[in-house]
Homo-oligomer: A and B are copies of this chain.
Amino acid sequence: MKPINVGLVGIGTVGGGTYTVLKRNQEEIARRVGRNIVIRIIADRDIEKARRLVDDDTKVTADAFEVVSHPDIDIIVELIGGQTVAKELILQAIANGKHVITANKALLASHGSEIFAAAQQKGVIVAFEAAVAGGIPIIKALREGLAANRIEWIAGIINGTSNFILSEMREKGLAFETVLAHAQKLGYAEADPTYDIEGIDAAHKITIMAAIAFGIPVKFDKAYIEGITQLSNDDIRYAEELGYRIKLLGITKRVTKGIELRVHPTLIPVKRLIANVEGVMNAIVVKGNAVGPTLYYGAGAGAEPTASSVIADLIDVARLLTADPEHRVPHLAFLPDLLSDTPIVPMEEVETAYYLRLQVMDKPGALADITRILADSGISISAMVQKEHAEEEDKVNIIMLTHTTIEKNINTAIARIESLPVMAGRIVRIRMEELSK
């Protein structure tokens, strides 16, 4: 089947990530869609940089309007941002009957209703998963996954820059200005950080979510917006002492008088999961009247996380252009004739770390025998503590954490150790996962 041809407007951070991920995961994506998705033409003002980033068979132009009017292109991806040229380009693409994918939250929060009306009339899709919370599929969750619910409220950490600053202020006791400068050095904050630290970016995103949650037009101009520039370490510390953490939240809520739509620093109880979202990560709590609270967490910015959402939208549209509606999303996500027969690894071959608790007679030499057996099995210890035995004082509990090893090795070692005369009971073995990479 011939590929889906995509035109990309703007190859900055997210555009570059989209190009890279689409290429790297090409095979995986084709197994899900049933055909390839290929970026054929790219427009960027910096035509030299664009040429360096892409393959020779990808056309590069400085003229974005050439892309949106290209007869071979099925889908336009708009990633230049801003509200003037981007709007013109999107409306032109729609008029040309192209589907459009955009990450442009500012544009949609202010002009979304006009753009969606044009798309609706023309029968094309304007998809925008990447406009809110980067790689988190929150638009899909709100529009589809939670569609059974009457949504009651949404509260989200939806600006990674400001969350990073608040995390650093709290953890290191540093002042706002110091942390901002540090964030700029790390690339987490832009040279002009106004949109992030003044809450404007978060307001764009909560405006879009409010529209989807409550079935109202986008109303950015009605949002209340307050940033984090006035926050002091004293208040962060006092809040903590009272059991609260300060986060910049976007909040939208259905109340008797109407819809609340606001962005401001907010004290939330430390015991809430969302209070523990630190650094540049984003998280959104959605309260539905049937499901109760649900939370969605992930990277809210960055080249590849945002590309993940751009490409999810590409796949959505590509699936629509490829299969009958009933077969649009395969039952098991991949086309049935493209399932793989990758084997399930037997447990004996699984590699993981272990927590071991050994009940040992409190005698000299016991530990030496045990550690020698572990060493023989190629198992190394990352931590060890000895604990009194609760009931019998001639016994001790030895707790060991191991580095990763094969289950077979630990089984062998456990069998050998349990046969030592110094052992006072069976070994407790619990697997450990860092879940970090």
Which residues of chain A have a CB within 8 Å of any CB of chain B? Answer: 17, 21-22, 24-25, 28-29, 31-32, 112, 116-117, 119-120, 123-126, 129, 135-137, 140-150, 155, 211-219, 222-224, 230-232, 234-235, 238-239, 241-242, 244, 246, 249, 251, 254-255, 257-262, 264-269, 272-274, 276-277, 283, 285, 287-299, 304-305, 307-312, 314-316, 320, 324-334, 336, 338-345, 347, 349-351, 355, 357, 383, 385, 387, 390, 397, 399, 401, 428, 430-437
Contacts and interface: CB of A to CB of B under 8 A. Distances in A.
A32 to B, nearest CB: 5
Contacts of A140: 137, 140-141, 144-145
A48 B155 CA distance: 43
A78 to B, nearest CB: 15
A164 to B, nearest CB: 15
A162 to B, nearest CB: 14
19 contacts: A21-B290, A22-B148, A142-B333, A144-B312, A146-B308, A148-B314, A216-B339, A222-B344, A234-B397, A238-B355, A242-B385, A242-B401, A258-B344, A266-B430, A267-B355, A267-B432, A273-B277, A290-B304, A291-B299
Given A116-B331, A238-B387, A265 B146 contact: no
A345 B242 contact: no
Contacts of A355: 235, 238-239, 242, 244, 267
Contacts of A144: 137, 140, 312, 315-316, 329
A311 to B, nearest CB: 3
A346 B418 CA distance: 70
Contact residues of A: prevailing secondary structure? mixed
Most-contacted residue by chain B among A223, A326, A387 (CB, 10 A): A326
Contacts of A277: 273
B435 A261 contact: no
A334 B116 CA distance: 12
A347 B262 contact: yes
Given A147-B315, A238-B387, A342-B259, A298 B291 contact: yes
A223 B307 CA distance: 33
Given A276-B276, A324-B123, A433 B155 contact: yes
A266 B433 contact: yes
Contact of A344 (B116, B219, B234, B399): B219
B433 A259 contact: no
Nearest to A321: B325
Given A262-B350, A340-B214, A297 B298 contact: no
Contacts of A251: 433
Given A129-B145, A140-B140, A298-B292, A216 B333 contact: no
A308 to B, nearest CB: 4
A290 B267 contact: no
A308 B291 contact: yes
A232 B355 CA distance: 13
B315 A430 contact: no
A141 B126 CA distance: 19
